[in-house]
Amino acid sequence: MTQDLIDPRALDRLAEVAVSVGLNLQKGQDLILTAPITALPLVRRITAAAYRAGAGVVTPMFSDEEITLARYRNAHDDSFDRAPNWLLDGMAAGFANGAARMAIVGDDPMLLAEEDPEKVARAGKANSIAYRPALEHIANFKMNWSILSYPTASWARRVFPELSEEEAVAKLADAIFAASRVQGDDPVAEWKAHNAALSERTKWLNTQRFEALHFTGPGTDLTVGLAEGHEWMGGASQAQNGVVCNPNMPTEEVFTTPHAAKVDGYVRSTKPLSHQGSLIDEIEVRFEGGKITEARAAKGEQVLLKLLDTDEGARRLGEVALVPHSSPISQSGLLFYNTLYDENAACHIALGQCYSKCFLDGASLSGDEVKARGGNASLIHVDWMIGGAQTDIDGIKPDGSRVPVFRQGEWAS
């Protein structure tokens, strides 16, 4: 079996770090966990680690690629406008009652590439609507949550199509363990040092109080206004329940909330975007007054346009993030077809929902107050990469003065 090629010691360390660093699970706290069924070896380890840490009840929920495809190939047309509201409402209730959230990703990123894009878009929208109550707990950082991954065979074949399945799984596993910082003898210490470095970056950015960021590079001349009272975050952060956790494992970014009405110029993607089983490549968009007014892509353009038409907020930004070209994930040279990894290889922006936590007093702000400060609202939150070795970024202060932030894809200082 391909899972036999995955280093069990590294998998044990990943499970322990996921619980202790990713979630920082608290004694007595319940855990809601989602994963592909093929990630069962990691789910079992995480469940054991969670109970050793004092978890209340761990509730895993599994997906299966063949079951997902069965819907697209056999379901009545009306099925694609429906979602399991009862289940997603239950997740939202669990979060409201203090449960932590963990997501393990690893499904074939191109699973739905050959399916009807209209049905994919409809099903995605229906699920987004139903998931909104649960998503609000995550987007508002009301509780500790974390995302990590498992090297499934279907994903490995996408990343390494030239290798045998066994070789591909082993190589993807090594890449995941390296990016997740669990290959050494003391991964907890490695994460502590990494979080400290990201914290220094956020502290510097927060002292600058930039009004906007100006991105330039091949096909890009984009000014991203920043929300009023925005706060930069990165690495370990404190959720509203007081628990410090690492939402993304791996992570190389520092990020904040842009102003939904103050984004102008044009930008070209620097890496493909894998979204709902389709690959969208060579994206080019133009913003005017915060809204995308023109959009094209060399591949997957119809998927992109349907995504932008999800709702009013889908054409506006909810996040801007800075990642140096020298990040370990970038230097690996791999396209993971997975946003959790690919977004940590380059500076990126996100269409859609903002994170209310990225305000100086985000925990106390109502939805209307977030909107008044420039925060965006949407059913979607989709990151795509716009940075690279030729990216320059200037921070623009309220008086119009400029401070170099990035030069040739790296931090300027």
Structure confidence at residue 199 (pLDDT): 96
Q: Which two tokens stand for residue 170?
A: 């082993």
Contacts of 321 (CB under 8 A, 6+ apart): 253, 254, 255, 256, 343, 347, 348, 349, 350, 383
Give just the sign of the alpha carbon dihedral 355, 361, 364, 369.
negative
Q: Which residues are 221's β-sheet partners?
A: 216, 266
Q: Which two tokens stand for residue 381?
A: 């939150």
Contact 323, 247 (CB under 8 A): no
**CB-based burial, 176-211: b 16+ in 10 Å, e otherwise:** bbbbbbbbeeebeebbeebbeebbebbeebbeeebb
Question: Does the domain formed by 2-179 have CATH 3.40.1830.10?
Answer: yes
Nearest to 106 by CA among 152, 67, 160: 152
Contact 348, 387 (CB under 8 A): yes
Q: Are strands 392-396 and 212-217 parallel, antiparallel or unpaired?
A: antiparallel
- 385: three-class secondary structure by DSSP: strand
Length of the chain measured in residues: 413
pLDDT along the chain (413 residues), means of 10: 79 97 98 97 98 98 97 97 96 97 94 90 92 91 96 96 96 95 93 96 97 98 97 93 95 97 98 87 98 97 93 97 95 90 94 91 85 94 96 97 98 94
Residue type, 203: K
Contact 281, 300 (CB under 8 A): yes
Contact 173, 210 (CB under 8 A): no
Residue type, 146: S
CA distance 29 to 98: 7
- 295: three-class secondary structure by DSSP: strand
What does R_g of the chain's alpha carbons equal in angstroms? 20
CA distance 82 to 148: 28
Q: Which two tokens stand for residue 350?
A: 């996100």
Neighbours of 139 (CB within 10 A): 18
Neighbours of 404 (CB within 10 A): 12
- 122: three-class secondary structure by DSSP: helix
Residue type, 117: P
Q: Specify the pTM.
A: 0.87
Count, in order, helices (H) and strands (E) of the chain: 12, 19
Contact 334, 190 (CB under 8 A): no
First CA to last CA distance, the chain: 48
Nearest to 405 by CA among 388, 391, 386: 391
Q: Which two tokens stand for residue 260?
A: 């939904």
Structure confidence at residue 2 (pLDDT): 60
Contact 245, 145 (CB under 8 A): yes
Q: Where are the domains of the chain?
A: 2-179, 202-232+251-411
In order of 98, 178, 191, 396, 405, the CA distances from 15 in angstroms are: 21, 14, 14, 42, 36
Q: Which two tokens stand for residue 355?
A: 């994170």
Contact 156, 172 (CB under 8 A): yes
222: Cα within 13 Å, side-chain hemisphere: 29
